[in-house]
């Protein structure tokens, strides 16, 4: 049976990307060698790295003056690299707390300096995005998390600030049209919407670096990686290659503008059923609902056994909600076909028929 994978991460990938990457593991570029055993300094892989970085700039429509890096350590390492590279000695940064990962970013940043949480939705189990908060004028940067996988919330309007703007876009990068030039630093773990776990995308404005007055360990210094063209240490060859293939796939569809229309259609289909069907209720506030992670609960927990049987029988996988929210979470990342969403909606409608 074909499985419909709604897992929050690692993400679902396009079938053509899976096939090409599988072939490359056996024989890459007709070399008679596997992608994962060739030198990362070889022309064949250097071309992959350069193409991946070029596609990022093209798809995000970035102006000159930005560097694109493929690093390691996930977004979790960026929680520390961000303050190391941007927080001045004796300086201060502002953070918006919208979920578990934002809170972890705050915790790491506090190891290096004065961090102020200027807004939080923790009081309502992070089921909304804070609004109408005040951003201090004396901060080195403002940090936000664009999409919150656990709670199914997404920022629709980003902070307006004269300070540097930093965003963790791990779970919705390349999913919607934004003016990415408004951000000074973007980072994103590949495994949510771009490729397999093992590499982290970083997009940074060159002119903001080297101004902290602190000594930065070489591996934590963005400038080290920029000077070495993302090869300061051995890069994650396979994840970078798969990410490159995924970026090519997005471009082939018509870019982010085209993928956003598909994502809107999937989200609308599923949210409409949640709102229509009396057996379900959404977790996140309507105005803050994520296009990537749809969180919902049963209105009657007594229906759980029946619904679980229905979605399992339909070949659905990975929709159990996070333990802090309960219920269900359907992650509908870029590569999720709308046909799979229709299968889930059908299971929800079958539950309604059973108890009507």
Whether the Cβ atoms of residue 281 and residue 290 lie closer than 8 Å to each other:
no
Residue 197 · residue 73 · CB < 8 Å: no
Is 179 a residue of the active site? no
| Residue of 97, 101, 184, 311 marked catalytic | 101
8 Cβ contact list (under 8 Å, min separation 6):
149, 150, 171, 192, 293, 318, 322, 329, 331
Residues in CB range of 169: below 8 A, 6 or more apart: 146, 147, 186, 187, 188
Instruction: Considering the candidates 97, 172, 184, 192, report the single residue annotated as catalytic.
Output: 192
The number of angstroms, rounded, from the C-alpha of 46 to the middle of its chain's C-alpha atoms is 25
Q: Sheet containing 280-282: which strands, arranged edge to edge?
A: 280-282, 293-298, 328-331
Instruction: Examine the residue annotation and report whether 51 is marked as an active-site residue of this protein.
Output: no
Question: Phi and psi at residue 101, in whole multiples of 5°?
Answer: -75, -35
* Active-site choice (97, 140, 168, 221): 168
DSSP 4: E
Orientation of helix 43-60 relative to helix 237-253, angle to 10°: 40
Verify whether residue 162 is a known catalytic residue: no
Active site residues: 101, 168, 192
């Amino acid at each position: 049976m074909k499985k419909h994978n709604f897992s929050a991460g690692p993400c679902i990938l396009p079938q053509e990307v899976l096939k090409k990457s599988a072939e490359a593991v056996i024989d890459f570029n007709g070399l008679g060698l596997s992608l994962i055993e060739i030198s990362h300094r070889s022309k064949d892989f250097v071309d992959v790295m350069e193409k991946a970085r070029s596609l990022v700039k093209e798809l995000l429509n970035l102006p000159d003056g930005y560097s694109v890096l493929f690093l390691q350590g996930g977004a979790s390492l960026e929680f520390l690299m961000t303050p190391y590279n941007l927080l001045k000695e004796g300086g201060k940064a502002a953070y918006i707390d919208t979920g578990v990962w934002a809170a972890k970013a705050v915790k790491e940043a506090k190891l290096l300096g004065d961090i102020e949480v200027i807004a939080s939705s923790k009081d309502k189990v992070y089921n909304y995005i804070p609004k109408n908060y005040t951003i201090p004028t004396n901060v080195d940067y403002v940090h936000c998390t664009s999409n919150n996988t656990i709670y199914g919330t997404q920022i629709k309007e980003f902070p307006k600030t004269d300070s540097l703007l930093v965003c963790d876009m791990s779970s919705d990068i390349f999913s919607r049209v934004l003016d990415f030039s408004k951000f000074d630093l973007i980072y994103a773990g590949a495994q949510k919407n771009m490729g397999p776990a093992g590499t982290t995308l970083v997009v940074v404005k060159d002119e903001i670096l080297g101004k902290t007055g602190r000594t930065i360990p070489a591996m934590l210094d963005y400038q080290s990686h920029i000077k070495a063209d993302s090869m300061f240490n051995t890069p994650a060859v396979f994840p970078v290659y798969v990410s490159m293939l995924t970026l090519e796939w997005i471009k082939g569809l018509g870019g982010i503008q085209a993928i956003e229309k598909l994502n809107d259609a999937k989200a609308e289909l599923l949210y409409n059923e949640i709102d229509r069907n009396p057996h379900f209720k959404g977790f996140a506030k309507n105005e803050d609902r994520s296009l990537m992670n749809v969180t919902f609960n049963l209105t009657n927990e007594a229906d759980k056994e029946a619904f679980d049987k229905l979605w399992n029988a339909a070949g659905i996988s990975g929709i159990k909600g996070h333990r802090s929210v309960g219920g269900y979470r359907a992650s509908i990342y870029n590569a999720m076909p709308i046909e799979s969403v229709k299968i889930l909606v059908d299971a929800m409608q079958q539950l309604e028929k059973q108890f009507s």
